[in-house]
């Protein structure tokens, strides 16, 4: 493998792995709501009637975008 090919592969891998982390960091610091656009919400906000359990799943309101969200069995908010 030539030196130029190795550099190209390095920069491609750097872009593929580093860019998502930069976007998530900017979302946390700048409050850009990128995670909400991707479907990753948080349930720290409360809805008008609070965090509620309907017998099957937990419902709340995303504190970033205000959308009603539901928690799955793994603890993730969607």
pLDDT for res 24? 74
Torsional sign, CA 60, 65, 71, 75: negative
pLDDT for res 25? 78
Torsional sign, CA 56, 37, 64, 66: negative
Which of 5-9, 19-23, 55-59 shows the highest mean pLDDT?
5-9
CA Rg value for the chain: 19
% pLDDT > 90, the chain: 12
pLDDT band at 41 (very low <50, low <70, confident <90, very high): confident
DSSP string, 20-64: HHHHHHHHHHH---HHHHTT-B---B--TT-SEE-SS-EEEE-TT
4-16 confidence digits (pLDDT tens): 999 999 999 988 8
- Classify each residue of 59-69 as buried b or exposed e, where b means 16 or more C-beta atoms within 10 Å of its C-beta: bbbbebeeeeb
Whether 40 shows a pLDDT value over 80: the answer reads no
């Amino acid at each position: 493998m030539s030196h130029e090919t190795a550099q190209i592969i390095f920069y491609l891998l750097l872009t593929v792995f580093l860019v998502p982390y930069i976007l998530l960091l900017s979302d946390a610091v700048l409050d850009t709501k990128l995670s909400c656009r991707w479907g990753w919400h948080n349930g720290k906000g409360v809805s008008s009637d609070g965090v509620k359990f309907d017998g099957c799943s937990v419902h709340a309101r995303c504190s970033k975008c205000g959308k009603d969200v539901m928690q799955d069995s793994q603890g993730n908010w969607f």
